[in-house]
């Protein structure tokens, strides 16, 4: 590493929370030149995916504020990794799966904003645009997981090219992207896709994994209804509901887990994280969790002003350091 863990923590984490620095960061996030990643790579070789007939990818801008972009991708036809490269790579890699209720994938909030935050601290960050289960793909419920597995393998295959350590690859997911992440937590070796090249010989188990206000359970009592319906349809049977509920599939060899939620989350109840935490603890698996009183759902980085939950990136950074990732 170019700097020690403590040096990176001290030098980097002050940036988003000091008022002047926060303004500078927001300006960098929102000016046109700052919106683009440094590179973008397709997950799968050309011609490998049979795109459903009539499916057309579309980017939609949801924000009317010219100073704050909030874009989303509907109907992902080219699953990919957008790459944000640090000026001085420290060898760490983090793959991010944004949310969107399995209806779309968010670009800026939950994707690019945290990627830039990480890149400023020496981490090579990859934003994953995964296929959506309701778009007509074969084996639709498994395509987000297949893309997540492939993402981890592909990043490891690019270790020399991207200047990363293949043994320091973390994965994080927000909201429905948190379901992608926690599915990878427990099903990183599930046979949901065929090998297509040498990258697929590499392990898909991340070295650490974070769920940020994650969709986890498919139990109707606490599930996010929209994500559940897109993933499993209107009336899944009990076995299918169990298979796609990560809290019911925890395993001793899963990656170290970090969870974040707000008690007042009305979109995805905090019980999703709490159940997964209890399930992990019951089998002795590594898990750190943080539940804040306020924050709602979808707060990301820029919607935490004035709230104690604003400290969450520091907590995540320290945890990644404690597990040797950063």
Domains and CATH numbers, the chain: 5-322 (3.40.50.1820)
Compute the average pLDDT of residues 261-290. 98
Q: Is it the case that residue 310 has pLDDT exceeding 60?
A: yes
- Average pLDDT (81-96) is 97
Mean model confidence pLDDT for the chain: 90
Q: pLDDT band at 68, cuts 50/70/90? A: confident
Residue 318 confidence (pLDDT) above 50: yes
| Residue 34, pLDDT score | 52
Position 171 scores a pLDDT of: 98
Cα separation of 303 and 293, whole Å? 15
Q: What's the average model confidence in pLDDT over 158-175?
A: 98
What pLDDT score was predicted for residue 70?
Answer: 85
pLDDT at 164 over 50: yes
**pLDDT at position 32 over 70:** no
C-alpha dihedral sign at 300, 137, 222, 217: negative
Distance CA 50, CA 44 (A): 11
pLDDT at 239: 97
Ranges 16-30, 50-64, 88-102, 228-242: which has the least confidence: 16-30
Beta-carbon contacts of 91 under 8 Å, excluding residues fewer than 6 positions away, are 1, 163, 164, 165, 168
């Amino acid at each position: 590493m170019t700097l020690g863990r403590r040096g990176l923590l001290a030098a980097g984490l002050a940036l988003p929370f000091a008022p002047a620095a926060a303004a500078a960061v927001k300006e960098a996030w929102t000016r046109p030149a700052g919106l683009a990643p440094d590179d973008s790579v397709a997950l799968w070789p050309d011609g490998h995916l049979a795109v459903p007939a009539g499916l057309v990818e579309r980017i939609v801008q949801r924000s009317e504020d010219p100073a704050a972009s909030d874009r989303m991708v509907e109907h992902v036809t080219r699953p990919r990794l957008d790459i944000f490269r640090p000026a001085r790579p420290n060898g760490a890699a983090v793959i991010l799966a944004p949310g969107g209720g399995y209806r779309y994938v968010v670009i800026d909030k939950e994707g690019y904003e945290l990627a830039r935050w990480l890149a400023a601290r020496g981490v090579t960050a990859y934003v994953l645009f995964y296929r959506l289960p309701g778009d007509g793909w074969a084996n639709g419920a498994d395509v987000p997981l297949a893309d997540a597995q492939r993402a981890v393998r592909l990043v490891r295959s690019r270790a020399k090219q991207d200047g990363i350590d293949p043994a320091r690859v973390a994965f994080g997911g927000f909201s429905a992207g948190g379901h992608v992440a926690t599915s990878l937590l427990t099903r990183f070796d599930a046979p949901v896709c065929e090998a297509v090249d040498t990258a697929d010989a590499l392990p898909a188990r991340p070295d650490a994994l974070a769920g940020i206000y994650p969709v986890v359970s498919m139990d109707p009592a606490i599930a996010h209804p929209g994500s559940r319906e897109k993933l499993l349809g209107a009336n899944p049977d009990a076995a299918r509901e169990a298979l796609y509920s990560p809290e019911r599939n925890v395993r001793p060899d899963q990656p170290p887990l970090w969870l974040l939620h707000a008690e007042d989350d009305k979109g995805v109840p905090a019980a999703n994280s709490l159940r997964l935490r209890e399930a992990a603890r019951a089998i002795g698996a590594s898990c750190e969790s943080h539940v804040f009183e306020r924050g709602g759902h979808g707060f990301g980085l820029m919607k935490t002003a004035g709230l104690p939950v604003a400290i969450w990136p520091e907590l995540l950074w320290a945890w990644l350091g404690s597990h040797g990732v950063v």
